[in-house]
Amino acid sequence: MSSQPDAVVVGSGPNGLAAALRLSAAGLRVRVVERAATPGGGMRTEELTLPGYRHDTCSTVHPMGAAAPFFREFDLASRGVRLLQPEVAYAHPLDGGRAAVARRSLDETAEGLGADARAYRRLFEPLVEHGDDVIEFFLTSQLRRPPTKSVAQVLTFVVNGLPDVRWLARRRFATEEAQALLAGAAAHGMLDLARPLTAALGMVLGMTAHHAGWPLVEGGSQSLADAMVRALEEQGGEVECDHEVTDLREFEGVPAVLLDTTPGAFVRMAGDRVHEGYRRWVARYKHGPGVFKIDWVLSEPVPWTNPEVRRAGTIHLAGTLEETLAGEAAPAAGRLTDRPYVLAVQPTVVDPSRAPAGGHVFWAYVHVPHGSDVDMTGAIENQVERFAPGFTDTVVARATKNAVEMEAWNPNHVGGDISNGEASFRQMVARPVPRWNTYKTPVRGVYLASAATPPGPAVHGQCGDNAARLALREVFGVREAPPLRPALT
């Protein structure tokens, strides 16, 4: 692109690329600039350990990639992106060789919960039946417009989802298995599970297991990023890597600039063009706990005691509801624990292309206090060993990244917070500042388009898409955003 673009997007994560694709669909000349050497943000896949072993550096399981309105419109299959569904979406082992498992089939999942089968169906059946409408409302309305479709189901979701998951699990379920299954899903939100809204996190992730699944991208999450970049380039856009932006004056004369960055990065890049009131609100924006992550190469699959767990894509290692609550309360309070909640993924269960023949990759992370540089390898591997005796004997190689290193790798992960801001009730409604239009910044033509805006974290592209739609209306006078362009055949 030799001439000045109509729009620049800073950052090439899922939201930045989604914004660029929506702008490009309107016929605009779009340039994406990326600090890293490879586009994708959290959707990168690298050989972190040994040659031929491909590890997702951050996001790897994509329930929202399968369910979100943006990616349904983008049509992943037509772009050559294959979503691989594990037989078991996620599993939650318990002591004594027991485990609760969430399968794609709601009925099969409920039947496995024994005395809680009926209660599980009663909670999730209405949501699964109207899954697209429920997800569309929460990803596109910013919670500021009443639902127009499946109103009863959305309102029921709100009523059940506003409290904490501890309350919902105890109120709805009697068995340790069902309670742990719900709490393990809710813990993806990186919050103290005694806080409001954590019930909603558990419900929406539980619902997606039966609605769209918890798939992995064949070959690694980088394949999804590469497909988005190809689509943009086919439409005349461009992605420039190894380009760090420190001052927005670099884009003087560009009508629209969209930022897939943290709010703090925007304030630094904008300098004295940001008024003191907005600057104070950004200073109050809270980033949550960080993560400590391990990627392993294994000589054989993880030897889980429960055979059902061996078929799962995602595993939540925390024990009972009470243990899960304690495991997440610690990092939220700035403490470490020797029995953390461990979120683990075994990609080669469904995607052998991630490793040479006969090899296996496995990764896990724990939530840790914000900015922690403590090595949690021992605590993580002890939790795996608890439910898979002999695991450490299968380890061939490992690579670790603490919370400080996570931020150095991706500046959007402030203090190791991979959610770009705590997903608390207040910060989900008013994200990142309490104003009606949170994508719009005080600088004319500049918009926030990252997970620091509604609807928040996860690979769904909606933050970028929502910001791009606003820019099209305000800057270019395009009242109705055009549909994404179909894949070239």
Tens digit of each residue's pLDDT (9 = 90 or more) over 335-370: 999 999 999 999 999 999 999 999 999 999 999 999
pLDDT at site 425: 83
Look at residue 223 in the predicted model and tell me its pLDDT: 98
Q: What is the mean pLDDT of residues 436-450?
A: 95
| 21-34 mean pLDDT | 98
Structure confidence by residue, pLDDT tens digits, 387-439? 999 999 999 999 999 999 999 999 999 999 999 999 998 898 789 999 888 99
- pLDDT (mean) for 287-296: 98
Rounded to an integer, the average pLDDT of 58-84 is 96
Nearest CA to 365 out of 385, 387, 391, 383 is that of: 383
pLDDT at 489 over 60: yes
Q: Say how far apart CA 92 and CA 96 lie, in whole Å.
A: 13
Q: HEC string of 39-87?
A: CCCCCCEECCCCCCCCEECCCCECHHHHHCHHHHHHCHHHHCCCEECCC
Give me the mean pLDDT over the 375-379 stretch.
98
To 10 degrees, what angle do helices 131-140 and 462-476 make? 50
Amino acid at 184: G
Distance CA 305, CA 313 (A): 16
Output the CA torsion 363→166→139→218 (10° steps): 20
* Predicted local distance difference test score (pLDDT) of residue 279: 97
Q: Mean of the per-residue pLDDT values for the chain?
A: 95
Residue with tokens 């955003």: 481
**What residue ranges in 235-359 does DSSP mark as E strands?**
238-240, 256-259, 290-298, 312-317, 342-345
Contacts of 47 (CB under 8 A, 6+ apart): 53, 54, 55
Share of the chain above pLDDT 90, in %: 89
Count of helices and strands (H, E) across the chain: 18, 16
For residue 370, the model assigns a pLDDT of 98
**Across 1-15, 110-124, 403-417, least confident range:** 1-15
Res 316 pLDDT > 70: yes
| Residue where the block lists tokens 């050559």 | 80
Q: How confident is the model at residue 325 (pLDDT cuts 50, 70, 90)?
A: very high
Q: Confidence class of residue 181 from pLDDT cuts 50, 70 and 90? A: very high
> How much is the pLDDT for 428?
83
Per-residue pLDDT averaged across 270-295, rounded? 97
pLDDT above 90: residue 197: no
DSSP per-residue letters across 377-436: HHHHHHHHHHHSTTGGGGEEEEEEE-HHHHHHH-TTSGGG-TTSS---HHHHHS-SSSSS
| Under 8 Å between Cβ of 166 and 197 | no
Torsion of CA 459, 426, 157, 449, to 10 degrees: -30
- By the 10 Å C-beta count (0-12 exposed, 13-18 middle, 19+ buried), 117 is classed as middle
* CA pseudo-torsion sign 346, 409, 262, 403: positive
Could you give the CA distance from residue 18 to residue 480 in angstroms, rounded to a whole number? 17
Identity of the residue numbered 247: D
| Terminal Cα-to-Cα distance of the chain (whole angstroms) | 23
Mean pLDDT of 268-273: 97
pLDDT tens digits for 153-169? Answer: 677 777 777 889 999 99
Contact (Cβ atoms closer than 8 angstroms) between residue 216 and residue 66: no
Nearest Cα neighbor of 265 from 412, 430, 466 is 412
Cβ-based neighbours of 77, under 8 Å, separated by 6 or more: none
- 430 near 442, Cβ under 8 Å? no
Crossing angle of helices 14-25 and 222-234, rounded to 10°: 20
Query: Is the model's pLDDT at 144 over the cut of 60?
Result: no
Tell me: pLDDT of 87 over 60: yes
Q: Any idea what DSSP says for residue 482?
A: P
Assess whether pLDDT exceeds 70 at residue 1: no
Q: How confident is the model at residue 150 (pLDDT cuts 50, 70, 90)?
A: low
Rounded to the nearest 10°, the torsion over CA 107, 111, 112, 113 is: 110
Share of the chain above pLDDT 70, in %: 97
The pLDDT of residue 141 = 58
What distance in Å separates the CA atoms of residue 22 and residue 230, rounded to the nearest whole number?
14
> What local confidence, expressed as pLDDT, does residue 228 receive?
98
pLDDT at 435: 86
- What integer pLDDT is reported at residue 160 of this predicted model? 74
Q: Find out whether 435 and 263 touch, Cβ atoms under 8 Å.
A: no
pLDDT of residue 100: 98
Is the pLDDT at 59 greater than 70, yes or no? yes
pLDDT score of 311 more than 70: yes
User: Strand (E) positions, 139-262?
Assistant: 216-217, 238-240, 256-259
